Structure 1
């Protein structure tokens, strides 16, 4: 669920409860080609770019073996397919959390139907544990360790901040990937509040608006890298204002030649 996408807790049956029995060593991962899954996933509606998808795939492939990864916000499944493909190579699964909210932006049950069809097309249904639920409600009762966290849920400050708290279930060095970071006002404010002053998360890098953080004590340089993204964030917010004022020619002057928000 991406709230900028053109695209009491209900737990749906898993798409599959099976766990493939595959080796987790590096040599066994050679057949987990990103290009194979992206050839299909790129046709699913969503904002994830190829560079961002590559980063997701690489981190999901590097994450600890059979421990589940978690995706918050699936929409029609572009990122879900990429993550699930990599987790299968590690003998693990992907838990996909999305409430599939009704409405013009999200599509509710219709979007869920498209999601499930897309996962079948991508051939990853067997490694996805789909849960139709709000991440903020699901977190209250969660106790299982996770290998990776991907956050692309509701983009307001409060929800994004709450979603970052799932990181307590990750091991040291575990990846936390946040989409629309340094692009969305709500998400970026949550990062400033919960990461800039954090003692347990450090900022590493980004691909477009997909930012990579890791569980670990941050250095002063790590905190500085967060602040160094602020000019890019201000630029992106300005572009959004220009697009809403229908001033796309002005947005082109700062290098944004697209009718869509920066992502």
Structure 2
């Protein structure tokens, strides 16, 4: 196994179009490095392979593998076959053909016939409440105390609604921390202190929703007053 540092991995990953930030990539990298030989990472939502590249290089360094799950839905929003072609090109460019395997399928359908252990779960699929909460059911295959990283947490209304129902009001997940809008959870029974940490993120979530409203109303100068100087949603 060739030892590659995060800087080299990010240099490759950052060349792939996408929304993953360097802080979020670092969180993925560190989570993968906590695994051991033979571990399996499942990534739900791969797009062009930005996060897959980082996870794949980290996985190789510890002897793990990555299963990338993405249906590559046709149409302008998701890109369809051209996006899949770019994903495969980016994985090949990073030399990860033997580490990353692709399941071009809806995560909600694949889960029903999945029967393998998962050591790390990364969720960045469709952001509505129903899909996100279904994707959290992949944790049924996660090892005890296994980690789940979720993109667009406390930013997307659908994802955050799912967190409030399944994490704040549930008994299976502990909220650990976040890197921007990437939250880290652990498969374990939460304490009241764990639940309070979820509630403590609500002001930040409301701020993100407010900024999205301002951007939809084309009030970017007002959004700048709240610390958001970008035409894109806060992710």
Please give the TM-score of this superposition, normalised by the length of structure 1: 0.87
Matching of residue 99 in structure 1 with residue 35 in structure 2: no
Paired with 1:240 and 1:103, the residues of 2 have a C-alpha distance of 24
Summarize the alignment of residues 130-141 of structure 1 with structure 2, pairs less than 5 Å apart.
130-141=102-113
Return the offset for 1:32: 3.4
Alpha-carbon RMSD across the aligned residues, in angstroms, is 1.1
Contact 2:152/2:182 (<8 A) preserved: yes
Please give the TM-score of this superposition, normalised by the length of structure 2: 0.97
Structure 1 gaps, min length 5: 1-21, 23-28
Match among 205, 211, 216 for residue 233 of structure 1: 205
Look up the SS of the partner of 2:143 in the other structure: coil
Match among 127, 136, 145 for residue 173 of structure 1: 145
Q: Cα 1:45–1:255, aligned 2, differ >3 Å: closer, same or farther?
A: same
What corresponds to 2:62 in structure 1?
Answer: 90
Structure having greater relative contact order (Cα 8 Å, sep ≥ 6): 1
Higher strand content, 1 or 2: 2
Look up the SS of the partner of 1:136 in the other structure: helix
Paired with 1:173 and 1:108, the residues of 2 have a C-alpha distance of 35
What corresponds to 1:7 in structure 2?
Answer: none
What corresponds to 1:150 in structure 2?
Answer: 122
What corresponds to 2:46 in structure 1?
Answer: 74
What corresponds to 2:166 in structure 1?
Answer: 194
Paired with 1:32 and 1:125, the residues of 2 have a C-alpha distance of 16
Runs of 4+ in 1 over 4 A off after TM superposition: none
What corresponds to 2:191 in structure 1?
Answer: 219
How many matched pairs? 235
Return the offset for 1:171: 1.4
Query: Over residues 68-105 of structure 1, what are the superposed CA-to-partner deviations in whole Å (9 max), with x where a residue is unaligned?
Result: 11000000000000111111112121000000011112
